[in-house]
Structure 1
Amino acid sequence: MAAIGPSLRPARMWPGDVVKVGAVGLRTRPMRAFLSALGIAIGIAAMVAVVGISSSSRADLDRTLASLGTNLLKVSPGQTLTGDEAQLPNESEAMVARIAPVRTVSAIGLIDEAKVYRNSKIDEAETGGIATYAARTGLREAIGARLRAGTWLNEATSTYPATVLGSAAAEKLGISQAGPATQVVIGGELFTVVGILEPAPLAEELNSAALVGWPVAKSELGFDGHPTTVFTRSDDASVEAVRSVLGATANPEAPNEVEVSRPSDALAARQAADEALTGLLLGLGAVALLVGGVGVANTMVISVLERRSEIGLRRSLGATKGQIRTQFLAESLLLSALGGAGGALIGSLVTGGYAIYQGWPIIIPAWAVLGGIGATLAIGALAGLYPAVRASRLSPTEALATT
């Protein structure tokens, strides 16, 4: 028996041909294709928007909880065996900075004899309870303090008679503005008020304090250089581990004479909120994808039923079962891709608009966008597989008989 010649073999479909054939159903029924893609897009947009809005909300929550000191630890001197007040070594701040998970370290040092007055005419007994602290330039970042007026201490002003007042100290001194013309008396010396802080909830002792630079505190106010509180911020996951070694690191010779604060309860609340939101996102995303898959399957089944005559005609003209199957599977994937891409765009826009309205940071996880489109294609392939197989099994005579 003679071999079948090349002219009798079915034509091979290249990727470009597959896309063109798969797009036939979308072009000939644009309204149905649009509505079907819209249904998929709504599902994906809902998933992306829910994930994006929840992520943005979580970022805002994390920012709020961070301001409450979830990862802030304080090291301060305790008492000696004889009951006297202990002292942290001058090098404690530098030693704590060597702990690997610690991201930020700063310190303050109380200057007992440096009393604060509005001017030199005030009676020495009327201190108003305002304390003076030597402060590192990185203190504001470590405790998350905000300025009400003026500027914070820097490398230059730390060496000169300049001070930043806490919120309560400024009120007691009757000072509302900072600048070269505003001065107070600290330890008998005139200091220029360069800044005023907002209330600092993480370091309340600073609200009723005057803060001066570490170098000028040593040169002008007799500061001995011993810190009275060392502030550290660490990675959230490492807070407990850091806390366990802080005492021995800050004062290796007498770790029992060091007090270390416990982590904030807000850290546990933050971790619980993250776990709850993650579970919620996964559940809502799965529901949205399921809805989109059902929409694709429904559309493709109806498309096969309506196009039986087209399938029969193509089979009569030589199209193989595999080519019919490929055509409807490609159509399902194109429909899913259009809906997925459109939904990702809509969901991203909704997330951005809502986050801006709420004043949140805009967070749209890449995994939500790419995962949504990828999952839509996978579900579209599964949803279109049965209609594609069903279409390929129709014989030409059976399909044309329904015309």
Structure 2
Amino acid sequence: MSPVETLRIAVRAIRANLLRSTLTMLGIIIGVAAVIAMVAIGNGAQRQVAEQIRMLGSNLLLVQPGAPNQGGARLSIGARQTLTEEDAVAVASEVPRVLVAAPMVSGSGHVVQGNLNWSTLVTGITPDFLVARDWRVESGRSFTQEDIDTAAKVVLLGRTVADTLFRDEDPIGRPVRIANVPLVVVGVLGIKGQNAASGRDQDDIALVPLSTAKLRVLGANRVSRNVVDFLLVKVAADEAIAPVQQQIRTLLRQRHRLTPDAEDDFRIREPFAAMEARAASTRSLTFLLSAVASVSLVVGGISIMNIMLVSVTERTREIGLRQALGARRRNVRNQFLVEAATLCVIGGVAGVLVGIAAAFGIAALAGWPIWVSPASILLSVAVAGVIGVFFGFYPAHKASHLDPIEALRFE
């Protein structure tokens, strides 16, 4: 018997008991749909984290002022200004595998343009900041070293600020005011999106030269003109982060003249590591949910075995007749195996469609990101076929070993 003929007989047997076949496939449909939906949600979350890592900038270290004790109470981070521009220069020049070390100052401020104003984060930077953050200037130009040296009255606007103040107009070359200081917009930053850690809109920002921020815009709140709020350090590679972090700690302790028993007057954070930990937890959760959903596939396989055993009993005379007409045991076995595999594959395809629809439904209702991987679709259908063969083997084997004479006598 040819494979095509075997498949035709299997499809005819399925159609002969359509309702029962549909109910039998239901377990496979639910199992495959659950796996597809869970994997789509998990993949979407992982891709979102990867995109956020890309937007944040990989291999970063953030050096903040320390949290000193005062009267037995520990103050907040940054309560004492301990970092300077010279610290940034020393880190960049003396610590191997550091690409850039960007000093920063920041504070809130109102950006005014005509009759419009917007409260945003104002940050004083050097050009190294944009290198560390992998942040491109979408239109216009970036800051030059001359802008830093002369405390030029120029500003880079984030996309959110630019759209709010200028709407459909081109902001390049237009004047704005921050803290009553007139500045000229020289560039608009590319879109970064939401910060994964804080949830803040990263495009809601205005960047000015570091010297301009200290002398003109944010200087009123500063004890010393030389101190900075943060150092943003970009490291050459992932594997260098841990040793570079220790080298920075050693260097800053030496520069700040801290005794061996004194606490650090700074803190080094690793945003990239936190994001990676989140990605790892997302992957683990995806595997867990997929494993739970796969239980439905096993239940569906048991249902397939049960129905195939019933089918063998119902078709005992048919099996005896086929054997009497010359069908070999392997022909009978293959017939029932193909029937079981066909049930599962059809259920798998239906489950894929239901799973994709469920994933998009969840995305629409909950606002979660999803990603339906072609590999997960192919794997789900293949697993469904394997389940059909595995759980259909025993009924097929039982059918192929029926005695033809006894089978013909069966009522």
1:183 maps to amino acid: V
What is the CA–CA distance in structure 1 between the aligned matches of 2:269 and 2:23, rounded to whole Å? 57
- The Cα shift of 1:117 comes to 11
Distance 1:375 1:233, change over 3 A: farther
> Which residue number in structure 2 is paired with residue 122 of structure 1?
none
Give the alignment partner of residue 156 of structure 1, picking from 124, 141, 159.
Answer: 141
Q: Secondary structure at the match of 2:351?
A: helix
2:17 maps to amino acid: R
> Which residue number in structure 1 is paired with residue 125 of structure 2?
134
Q: Secondary structure at the match of 2:155?
A: strand
Q: Secondary structure at the match of 1:87?
A: helix
Contact 2:320-2:403 within 8 A present in 1 as well: yes
> Which residue number in structure 2 is paired with residue 257 of structure 1?
255
- The Cα shift of 1:350 comes to 0.8
Give the alignment partner of residue 288 of structure 2, picking from 280, 289, 294.
Answer: 280
1:202-351 → structure 2 map (5 Å cutoff): 211-212=207-208, 229-232=231-234, 238=238, 241-246=240-245, 248=247, 256-257=254-255, 261-263=268-270, 266-267=274-275, 270=278, 273-274=281-282, 276-278=284-286, 280-351=288-359
Contact 2:49-2:279 within 8 A present in 1 as well: no
Q: Secondary structure at the match of 1:229?
A: strand
- The Cα shift of 1:330 comes to 0.8
Q: Secondary structure at the match of 1:379?
A: helix
Please list the CA deviations of residues 2-55 of structure 1 after superposition, one character each: whole Å capped at 9, or x if unmatched: xxxxxxxxxxx3332332233231233333223322332122212222333344
- The Cα shift of 1:304 comes to 0.8
Deviates more, 1:177-186 or 1:285-294: 177-186
1:105-116 → structure 2 map (5 Å cutoff): 107-108=102-103
Contact 2:29-2:351 within 8 A present in 1 as well: yes
> Which residue number in structure 2 is paired with residue 8 of structure 1?
none
2:369 maps to amino acid: P
Contact 2:46-2:279 within 8 A present in 1 as well: no
Contact 1:158-1:215 within 8 A present in 2 as well: no
Q: Which has the larger radius of gyration?
A: 1
What is the CA–CA distance in structure 2 between the aligned matches of 1:352 and 1:177, rounded to whole Å? 36
> Which residue number in structure 2 is paired with residue 7 of structure 1?
none
- The Cα shift of 1:347 comes to 0.6
Distance 1:262 1:354, change over 3 A: same
Q: Secondary structure at the match of 1:261?
A: strand
Distance 1:316 1:362, change over 3 A: same
Gap runs ≥5 in structure 2: 67-81, 113-120, 148-152, 218-224, 257-265
> Which residue number in structure 2 is paired with residue 3 of structure 1?
none
Contact 1:182-1:193 within 8 A present in 2 as well: no
> Which residue number in structure 1 is paired with residue 62 of structure 2?
74
Distance 1:303 1:188, change over 3 A: closer
> Which residue number in structure 2 is paired with residue 87 of structure 1?
86
What is the CA–CA distance in structure 1 between the aligned matches of 2:125 and 2:58, rounded to whole Å? 25
Please list the CA deviations of residues 246-274 of structure 1 after superposition, one character each: whole Å capped at 9, or x if unmatched: 464x7998784396613359558626733
Q: Secondary structure at the match of 2:86?
A: coil
Q: Secondary structure at the match of 2:269?
A: coil
Distance 1:55 1:85, change over 3 A: closer
Q: Structure 1 runs of 4+ off > 6 angstroms? A: 61-71, 94-97, 185-189, 193-202, 214-217, 250-255
Q: CA RMSD in A?
A: 5.3
Give the alignment partner of residue 47 of structure 1, picking from 35, 41, 53.
Answer: 35
Please list the CA deviations of residues 173-222 of structure 1 after superposition, one character each: whole Å capped at 9, or x if unmatched: xxx836455433899875448679999887x9x99x963358999xx99x
Deviates more, 1:298-307 or 1:254-263: 254-263
What is the CA–CA distance in structure 1 between the aligned matches of 2:241 and 2:58, rounded to whole Å? 13
Q: Secondary structure at the match of 1:177?
A: helix
- The Cα shift of 1:351 comes to 0.7
2:255 maps to amino acid: E
Contact 1:70-1:263 within 8 A present in 2 as well: no
2:207 maps to amino acid: L
Give the alignment partner of residue 398 of structure 1, picking from 396, 406, 411.
Answer: 406
What is the CA–CA distance in structure 2 between the aligned matches of 1:27 and 1:143, rounded to whole Å? 60
Please list the CA deviations of residues 101-140 of structure 1 after superposition, one character each: whole Å capped at 9, or x if unmatched: x9xx6734569xxxx999xxxxxxxxxxx98723438639
What is the CA–CA distance in structure 1 between the aligned matches of 2:4 and 2:95, rounded to whole Å? 63
- The Cα shift of 1:378 comes to 1.7
What is the CA–CA distance in structure 2 between the aligned matches of 1:210 and 1:65, rounded to whole Å? 22
Distance 1:157 1:142, change over 3 A: closer
Contact 1:133-1:211 within 8 A present in 2 as well: yes
Is 1:374 the counterpart of 2:365 in the alignment? no
Is 1:14 the counterpart of 2:2 in the alignment? yes
Contact 1:325-1:389 within 8 A present in 2 as well: yes
Deviates more, 1:369-378 or 1:255-264: 255-264
Is 1:37 the counterpart of 2:14 in the alignment? no
- The Cα shift of 1:75 comes to 4.1
Q: Secondary structure at the match of 1:360?
A: coil
Q: TM-score, normalised by structure 1?
A: 0.64
What is the CA–CA distance in structure 2 between the aligned matches of 1:376 and 1:117, rounded to whole Å? 60
Please list the CA deviations of residues 59-78 of structure 1 after superposition, one character each: whole Å capped at 9, or x if unmatched: 55777899999974224799
Aligned pair count reads: 347
> Which residue number in structure 2 is paired with residue 184 of structure 1?
177
Give the alignment partner of residue 353 of structure 1, picking from 339, 355, 361.
Answer: 361
> Which residue number in structure 2 is paired with residue 10 of structure 1?
none
What is the CA–CA distance in structure 1 between the aligned matches of 2:10 and 2:46, rounded to whole Å? 42
Distance 1:234 1:227, change over 3 A: farther
The percentage of counterpart residues that share the same residue type is 29
Q: Secondary structure at the match of 2:393?
A: helix
Distance 1:306 1:94, change over 3 A: farther
Please list the CA deviations of residues 132-155 of structure 1 after superposition, one character each: whole Å capped at 9, or x if unmatched: 7234386398399xxxxxx96866
